[in-house]
Structures are given as C-alpha cells and as structure tokens.
Structure 1
Amino acid sequence: MDVRLDHLVCWVSDQLGSLQFYEQVIGLPGVRAEEFKDGKAAFPSVRISPETILDLMSYDASRGVDEGTGVNGTAGHPINHFCLAVSKEDFDALQIRLKESGVEITGTGTNSFGARGIAPETIYFPDPDGNVLEVRYYE
C-alpha cells in the first residue's frame, strides 16, 4: 500500500492572522488564500509539500464536524504537535524569522527520531492559537 499524508486541519481563532503567520513566519505558500479572502472558500490552507496541505479551520466551523466525520467529540480535539522537516539552511532562517516575529522557541532537542531517521536538531514553538509545531532537519 502506498500511503501519503494529504492534509491536517488546525483549529484557529483568526484565519487571516494564522494564514499570515504560516506564510510569512514559517514560509509556507498559501493555498486558496485569495478565494478565502473573496468569500469563495470556507478556509485557507498552506502547502507543506507537493502532496500535503495544512487547513486553517475556524473554531466557529467546529459545529457540524462531529456529524461530518461520524465520530463524536472530534471538534477541536487537540494533538500534541506536528512536525515539519526542512533543510538546514531553512531551519536556520526560520529561527531568525521566529525571533524577528517575537515567537518564542519553547523547546529544543538533539538526535531526535522521526520519519526519516535521526534529526540532529529540532525546535518547538506555538502558532498564534497555541498549536505546537516541531521543525527539524535531516543530514
């Protein structure tokens, strides 16, 4: 079986503010951003990879989510964190953008295991809604 992650959904309080954070601070390109701004899409997304996006869903949209998924209690269900793997160059540049944007790096790690093996360095930080991101690089 050939499986790939298609998308993740993060609950956010300010979709435009979150879009700006993920585009400008993290450096991910927006998907359907203009359509969202024009009222033609219910939420914006950002592209993580050619095959994976992150949807920025308003807390207000949580009504009806249980019905849509068929699983009670999933609206706003928290996750611990999600991890993005980038190049060493992008890892270093991200740390500068986080500092310039006043985003505190809340945790660090070394020699951390992940999907592609051991990552020499990793950082953790919250997005504007407290969703925790881990960013790492592999050699």
Structure 2
Amino acid sequence: MHARLDHLVCWVSDQLVSLHFYERVIGLPGVRAVEFREGKAPFPSVRISPECVIDLMTFESMRGVDEGTGVPGSSGHPLNHLCLAVGKEDFDALQVRLKQHKVEITGTGTNSFGAQGIAPETIYFPDPDGNVIEVRYYD
C-alpha cells in the first residue's frame, strides 16, 4: 500500500490569527482563505504541499466532530507536534521571520531522524495556540 498524508487538523482559538501566522510567519499559502474571510467556508486551511493541507478549526466551527469520526472524545485530541520539511534557504528565511514576529524558537536539534532520513538541523516553536511546529531541512 502506498499512502500519503492528506490533511492535519489543528484546533485553534482564533482562525484569522492562526491563518495570519501560518501564512505570514511560516510562509504557507492559504487555501479557502478568501472564502473563509467572506463567511463562505467554515474554516481556512494552509497548503503544505500539492497533496497536503492543515485545516485551522475552532471547536465552535466543528460541532459534531465526535459524531463524524465515530470516536467519542476525538475533538481536541492533543498532538505532540507537526513537522514540516523545507529547503535550507527556506529554513534560514523562516528563522528570520520568526524573529521579526517575536516567535521564540523553543527547541533545536541536529542529526534528527525523519521521513526522508537524517536532517542536519531542526527547530521547534509554538503557533498562537501552543501547537508545536518542528521545521527541518534535509541535505
């Protein structure tokens, strides 16, 4: 079987604040951002790759999530962190944007194993709701 990650759902307290963070600070393009701002979509997303997005949802926007998944208590399940792999140039540029936006890098790593092998460097930082994001690059 060959599977690909389609989407992740991050629980956020303010979808516009989070959309701004993921678009402007991290640099991911918004998906349905205009439609969300116009009240035509229940939540915005940001694109990680052509095949994967992060949905930015509030508990209020997704009432009935437990019923939809069929797993009681599934809405708001904590996630340890999500990891984005970028090129070295984007990795360096992100660190500059984090500093400009006063987002603290809370952790770093070297020679860390991931889906594509060993990453020379990794950084960790929180989004506005405390969701932990790891960003790394591969040689």
Aligning the two structures, in what range does the TM-score lie when normalised by the shorter sequence? Answer: over 0.9
Map 1:36-115; keep pairs closer than 5 Å: 36-115=36-115
State whether structure 2 residue 127 is matched by structure 1 residue 127.
yes
CA RMSD of aligned residues (A): 0.7
SS at structure 1 position matched to 2:92: helix
CA contact under 8 A between 1:30 and 1:45: conserved in structure 2? yes
CA contact under 8 A between 1:62 and 1:76: conserved in structure 2? no
1:27 and 1:100 mapped to 2: Cα distance? Answer: 13
CA contact under 8 A between 1:8 and 1:53: conserved in structure 2? yes
SS at structure 1 position matched to 2:9: strand
Gaps of 5+ in 1: none
Per the TM alignment, residue 58 of structure 1 is displaced from its structure 2 partner at its CA by 1.0
CA contact under 8 A between 2:45 and 2:53: conserved in structure 1? yes
Per the TM alignment, residue 59 of structure 1 is displaced from its structure 2 partner at its CA by 2.4
CA contact under 8 A between 2:66 and 2:75: conserved in structure 1? yes
1:35 and 1:105 mapped to 2: Cα distance? Answer: 32
Per the TM alignment, residue 61 of structure 1 is displaced from its structure 2 partner at its CA by 2.9
- Compute the TM-score of the two structures, normalised by the length of structure 2: 0.98
- The number of residue pairs the alignment matches comes to 139
Per the TM alignment, residue 62 of structure 1 is displaced from its structure 2 partner at its CA by 4.5
Per the TM alignment, residue 2 of structure 1 is displaced from its structure 2 partner at its CA by 1.8
State whether structure 2 residue 15 is matched by structure 1 residue 15.
yes
Between stretches 57-66 and 84-93, larger displacement belongs to 57-66
SS at structure 2 position matched to 1:76: coil
SS at structure 2 position matched to 1:25: helix
Q: Aligned residues: percent identity?
A: 78
SS at structure 1 position matched to 2:104: coil
Q: Which runs of 4+ in 1 moved over 2 A?
A: none
CA contact under 8 A between 2:80 and 2:132: conserved in structure 1? yes
For residues 47-96 of structure 1, give each alpha carbon's deviation from its aligned partner in whole angstroms, at most 9, with x where no partner exists: 00000000000122353111010001111000100100000000000000
1:97 and 1:105 mapped to 2: Cα distance? Answer: 11
One-letter code aligned to 1:112: S
